[in-house]
Amino acid sequence: MKTWKLTVRSLLLIVMLVCFCGNMSHAFEQQEDSLILWQSADEQDQDDAEKEYQWRNGWCYCELSDGTLELTGYDENAVSLTKEGAMTIPGTLDGKRVSLVSAEFSGNLKLVTVGFESGITKITGNFSRCNNLVRIVFPETLKELGVATLYGCPSLKEAVLPEGLEKMGDCVFSGCTAMESIWIPESLTRIESYTFEKCSSLKRVVIPDSVTDVFYCAFKECTALEEVYLPSSLNWLDPHTFLETGNAGEKIKVILPSLIAKPKQSWTTIENLDHLCFYVEKDSEMEAYLEQFQNLDIRTYVRDEAFELARAQAAGSIEVEGDRQTEELL
């Protein structure tokens, strides 16, 4: 009996030791992971600390690992600005190309026009609340534009985006209340959330065939919006795209191609649906597709040139089925 009790106690002891060792091993693994993460963060801080910041002609910059420069700041009193309020952001400093602009220009009331020299590929700094900024021309080399780049610039009327721009962050033009039109390059594939929110003077938008996704509230509170041209490449149109958009009593013309390749959602879930009128080519696949949805205001046109004409910003008209009147779409 004593031998049996001893055996049981021994087994219990072994089980307890195994569990204890397992828990300790798990805890050590967690601690080791944390240590690795801590080391990674420390190494990153060390890398940042090792950056050498220099000044040239009023611009602060540092060299990146690929040998190009990051423009990190500027001295408002040292950077040359014309009497008309024009600033040109350099594409080279000390003989090296500037690839990244992270400097913050927010709230600079002296800026009226801004241009960039060629070579810059990414802009993460922003010009938000530059209340007197009227025009900005981005470089033809630009590939990426960060979040809220021009947020809350009420005087901005013109923003020139280059063909080749691949990515724009959320809220890029949010609150640009004076902007009436915008050309979207065919290199973009996504219109991010709140991109044109509260652009209350925006009247017409042509979304190019490269765009596959339009995200949450992209055109929210665009109260002057009259026409939107959607591409055949469209994969997702967020139901809140046109939330609180358009003039009271007037419908926004949504001009569709003959076919949208991969529509994922029911079009009847779109918010503000009562303020939208869908134009489709007569006898097209798109017309047949939309017939399955109820409560859509659908009209047809006799040819499918409207989208191409709009992209070219040419004048034109289409004939509407029913009362056969000619509707000016451009």
Given a contact cutoff of 8 angstroms between Cβ atoms, the answer to whether 316 and 329 are in contact is: yes
The Cα 43–Cα 190 span in angstroms is 34
CATH number of the structural domain 53-145: 3.80.10.10
The Cα 270–Cα 181 span in angstroms is 23
The Cα 97–Cα 90 span in angstroms is 9
Q: Which helix (H) or strand (E) holds 223?
A: none
Two structure tokens written together for 94 = 């000390």
Residue 205 phi/psi, 5-degree rounding, is: -135, 130
Q: If we measure between CA atoms, which residue out of 62, 58, 59 comes closest to residue 70?
A: 62
The Cα 98–Cα 62 span in angstroms is 10
The Cα 306–Cα 324 span in angstroms is 16
Look at the block and give the residue holding tokens 């665009």: 222
pLDDT value at residue 21: 45
Q: Measure the CA angle with vertex 318, ends 316 and 321; round to 5°.
A: 170
The Cα 91–Cα 138 span in angstroms is 12
Given a contact cutoff of 8 angstroms between Cβ atoms, the answer to whether 276 and 252 are in contact is: yes
Given a contact cutoff of 8 angstroms between Cβ atoms, the answer to whether 330 and 303 are in contact is: no
H helices of the chain, in order, are 2-50, 285-290, 306-311
pLDDT value at residue 246: 87
Given a contact cutoff of 8 angstroms between Cβ atoms, the answer to whether 119 and 101 are in contact is: no
Residues in the chain, pLDDT under 50: 1-8, 10-46, 304, 307, 311, 313-330
pLDDT value at residue 259: 79
- What digits encode the pLDDT tens for the residues 162-186? 999 999 999 999 999 999 999 999 9
What are the C-alpha distances in Å from 248 to residues 54, 252, 327? 54, 10, 20
Residue spans of the domains in the chain: they are 53-145, 180-330
Amino acid at 126: N
pLDDT value at residue 80: 87
Residue 228 phi/psi, 5-degree rounding, is: -135, 130
pLDDT value at residue 88: 97
pTM here?
A: 0.78
Two structure tokens written together for 171 = 């809220």
Say how far residue 60 (Cα) sits from the centre of its chain: 27
